[in-house]
Amino acid sequence: MSQIKVLFVCMGNICRSPTAEGVFTHLVEKHGTLDRFLIDSAGTHAYHIGEEPDARAQQTARQRGIDLSHIRARKFAHTDFEMFDHILAMDTDNYNILHSACPPHLRSKIKLFLDYAPARDESDVPDPYYGGQNGFNHVFDLVEDASTGFYDSVMTKVATPN
């Protein structure tokens, strides 16, 4: 059985998308299904290539038992459209950037991440970079909800193939 390839995308790949990568990885580990997934994150902009996640994102994750220190920022590559099964944008701006760059036959792979958190009113995971610690806590809460919803959605499809 082939792996389910998931890519989380934000702007700089140092706050939201690495948080999502870490949270989702932690979730699939807890379910004992890590071997079924390939999980990565990227940014639509090349601001922080090679850098660790923002210290505040790492601190927030550590407080909740998740280590992000191994993640390094990278820029989204055009080959990611082919490589990944699911490309989850953190917000509408990054969704639009991805959608406009994507070959039409692959656009169905791109979704807004918070579409998997229907109990939430927001459609965008807000960028906490210029804010305080509360913004990082809020991002983490949103990402946890969406990760659970996305995991349940994917595993339901795997369990009941067409």
Whole-angstrom distance, CA of residue 19 vs CA of residue 6: 14
Q: Helix (H, G, I), strand (E, B), or coil: what is residue 123?
A: coil
Q: Work out whether the CA dihedral 92, 73, 88, 64 comes out positive or negative.
A: negative
In the set 10, 54, 74, 91, the catalytic residue is 10
**115 a catalytic residue:** no
**10 a catalytic residue:** yes
In the set 40, 80, 91, 127, the catalytic residue is 127
Distance of CA 75 to the CA centre of its chain: 14
**127 a catalytic residue:** yes
Whole-angstrom distance, CA of residue 44 vs CA of residue 27: 25
In the set 15, 16, 56, 145, the catalytic residue is 16
* Catalytic residue set: 10, 16, 127
